[in-house]
Structure 1
């Protein structure tokens, strides 16, 4: 399993990669959706951790694309936005698991069990 992290804040993405690798996971970070889309599509056994507020293509648009794959990966959205703004982005589609920023090691490790 690979954990793909799509996050534009280098501090957050670097911290997530270090944490996930220390837990024995294969983790790759992408600074934006466009870079993520240039790679092979994720496998069904992969996990995507994606910030909703990305430059360029939004996290919600990436999630919409991932959910339409024949065998979608697990998706975890991360955001520090107000709940109403998050709900507006997912109107008319399935809401993925959501983790609120700031993230903690405990929250991440619980989510990946």
Structure 2
């Protein structure tokens, strides 16, 4: 998973980043709430780990600003030294998905991350996913449309799997690059655009077919299912 860590203590940030990387996740670390919010406009994550005490902007205010964004659907987990029941209840009522009190242990942190992402359907994708005319079989690495196999390269298969497991969600180009090509991929975002164009054509992801694969300027891509009314309008 791609995880944002908003933590101003360098030692704690280093430790949590190490734990996440050891578990196979990508961790992007931010020391200030304002810096994270600026990046979050053009980035996408699977989980946000958020400290309460941050310079300039508290974790509580960061949570409030994120929840005011209509399209924000990424789980937010507080990781903080504030241990009162009142604080915990207030943050959960304001939209936090979980609340962990420092000091924390690696197995507990990873289990909580897995739990919130399972609830949001963004982790551990099922072996076989069926969406309308498409069936994606992870084990056999096969995608069919109306029962007919679609020939894809390895990278195209990974890309299709990623976007179909995130239908309706904006994925940043960096998120796509790291998920499909790896953390250290020395590639530019043009690679993403080229591959998206190919799979759009191969899978016929067009409005008249019931799908829209949109490029969002300076941000990334979103795959959406089209309503019958929109589909009929596009066909006309």
CA–CA separation in structure 2 for the residues paired with 1:74 and 1:80: 20
1:78 Cα deviation (Å)?
A: 1.1
1:11 is matched with which residue? 11
More divergent stretch after superposition (97-106 vs 67-76): 67-76
CA RMSD of aligned residues (A): 2.2
Greater relative contact order (CA < 8 Å, ≥ 6 in sequence): 1
2:95 aligned with 1:94, yes or no? yes
Structure with higher helix content? 2
**Superposition deviation, residue 106 in structure 1:** 1.3
TM-score (norm 2): 0.43
- Confirm or deny that 1:112 pairs with 2:90: no
1:35-74 equivalent positions in 2, closer than 5 A: 35-41=35-41, 42-43=43-44, 46-69=46-69, 70-74=71-75
- What whole-Å deviation, never above 9, does each CA across 1:48-96 have from its counterpart, x for those lacking one? 0000111210001111122223132110001111315625864972343
User: Aligned partners of 2:89 and 2:102: how far apart in 1?
Assistant: 18
Residue in structure 1 matched with residue 24 of structure 2 by the alignment: 24
* Structure 1: 5+ residue stretches without partners: none
Runs (5+) with no aligned partner, structure 2: 115-236
Q: Secondary structure at the match of 1:8?
A: coil
Alignment check: 8 A CA contact 2:49 2:79 kept: yes
Structure number with greater Rg is 2
What SS class does the counterpart of residue 100 from structure 2 fall into? strand
TM-score, normalization by structure 1: 0.84
Sort the Cα spacing of 1:54 and 1:40 in 2 relative to 1 into closer, same or farther, 3 A.
closer
Answer whether contact 1:66 1:72 (CA < 8 A) is retained. Answer: no
